């Protein structure tokens, strides 16, 4: 199991925690109240948490499915990326896509999930032509509905 050092920066901050054993995402919790206006209201929401992602890994901040389906609230820059060298506060950009209802975030609410994944460093190599693939240049909508 990977060890992930963290610090709590606010009295209201809570450690990342898994809702159930075996879950991939650990819940991130808001440290203050925020109102997201309907029709695209957005906010940068503090978690009061800083983490030290190990080298060779990245943290992905993902939306909570219940907030998305029940309230239209999701992460605007999903997934948010936490690089291994970042030591600042983890904050989450939330947006309310509901056209009519505002959404109230309260301190202590679970607002997003953190997934830590291994990443491979790559060396980019300029070539005259890429190797062939089965998909080729097919892009958006290429595989059908």
Number of independent structural domains in the chain? 1
Residue 71 lies in a domain: yes
**3-class SS string, 61-113:** EECCHHHHHHHCEEECCCCEEECCCCCCEEEEEEEECCCCCCEEECCCCEEEE
Residue 13 lies in a domain: yes
What CATH number does residue 78 fall under? Answer: 2.70.40.10
- pLDDT confidence of residue 134: 85
Q: Which residues contact 11 (CB under 8 A, 6 or more apart)?
A: 48
CB burial class (10 A; 0-12, 13-18, 19+) of residue 136? exposed
User: Which of 70, 75, 77 is closest to 101 using CA atoms?
Assistant: 70
- pLDDT confidence of residue 28: 98
Residue 41 lies in a domain: yes
Residue 136 lies in a domain: no
Is pLDDT of 140 > 90?
Answer: no
Residue 16 lies in a domain: yes
The sheet carrying 42-51 orders its strands as 6-8, 42-51, 89-96, 73-75
Task: Print the domain residue range for 85.
Answer: 6-118
Is pLDDT of 56 > 80?
Answer: yes
Is pLDDT of 138 > 90?
Answer: no
pLDDT, tens digit, for every residue of 118-127?
A: 999 999 999 9
Of all residues in the chain, the percent with pLDDT exceeding 70 is 99
Average pLDDT, the chain: 95
Q: What Cα–Cα distance (Å) separates residue 30 from each residue in 26, 41, 44, 69, 95?
A: 13, 17, 10, 19, 14
Residue 128 lies in a domain: no
Is pLDDT of 141 > 80?
Answer: no
Residue 125 lies in a domain: no
Residue 133 lies in a domain: no
């Amino acid at each position: 199991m990977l060890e992930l050092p963290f610090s709590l920066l606010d009295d209201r901050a809570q450690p990342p925690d898994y809702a159930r054993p075996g879950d991939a995402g650990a819940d991130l919790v808001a440290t203050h109240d925020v109102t997201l206006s309907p029709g695209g209201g957005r906010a940068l929401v503090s978690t009061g948490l800083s983490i030290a992602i190990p080298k060779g890994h990245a943290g992905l901040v993902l939306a909570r499915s219940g907030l998305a389906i029940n309230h239209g609230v999701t992460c605007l820059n999903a997934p948010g990326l936490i690089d291994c060298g970042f030591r600042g506060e983890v904050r989450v950009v939330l947006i309310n896509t509901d056209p009519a209802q505002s959404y109230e975030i309260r301190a202590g609410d679970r607002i997003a999930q953190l997934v830590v994944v291994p990443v491979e460093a790559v060396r980019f190599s300029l070539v005259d032509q890429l190797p062939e693939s089965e998909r080729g240049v097919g892009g958006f909508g290429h595989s059908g509905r």
